[in-house]
């Protein structure tokens, strides 16, 4: 049996006076990112890029809430991160955040992007 552990990295920072923990695990078929300011997994959202039969049109994404609240803000955050990372595999994104204000989300995204460099995607 040829199994190997997923490549994983962790990081912690303080954003807007809130301790923020990050876990990133790179599996064969998915990238798992969990970011929390509560010490919990929080809401889980799955994002994937669907097959686009018309090559001239913009990409089509499927976004599904798997756990927690099913809110538009969660879908927007997960999709934006997926696009920014230019992923080819699915993204399972877990987050439990104090604020969803634009500046806070920009800081969260920068923290994730700077930390993800430690993993071979």
Give pLDDT tens digits for 57-103: 778 889 999 999 898 888 999 999 999 999 989 999 999 999 989 99
Fold of 7-118: Ribosomal Protein S5; domain 2 (3.30.230)
Give the pLDDT band of residue 33 (cuts 50, 70, 90). very high
Q: List the chain domain ranges.
A: 7-118
Judge whether 12 and 106 are in contact, CB under 8 Å: no
pLDDT of residue 27: 94
Task: Name the residue with tokens 């962790």.
Answer: 10
Judge whether 95 and 39 are in contact, CB under 8 Å: no
Give how far the C-alpha of residue 13 lies from the chain's centroid of Cα atoms, to the nearest Å. 17
* Rg of the chain (C-alpha set): 15
Give the rounded percent of residues in the chain with a pLDDT score beyond 90: 70
């Amino acid at each position: 049996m040829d199994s190997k552990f997923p490549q994983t990295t962790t990081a912690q920072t303080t954003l807007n006076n809130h301790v923020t923990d990050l876990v990133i695990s790179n599996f064969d078929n998915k990238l798992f990112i969990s970011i929390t300011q509560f010490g919990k997994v929080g809401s889980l959202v799955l994002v994937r890029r669907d097959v686009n039969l018309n090559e001239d049109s913009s990409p089509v994404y499927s976004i599904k809430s798997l756990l927690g609240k099913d809110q538009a803000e969660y879908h927007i955050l997960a999709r934006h991160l997926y696009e920014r990372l230019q992923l080819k595999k699915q993204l399972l994104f877990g987050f439990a955040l104090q604020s969803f204000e634009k500046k806070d989300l920009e800081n969260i995204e920068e923290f994730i992007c700077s930390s993800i460099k430690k993993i071979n995607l």
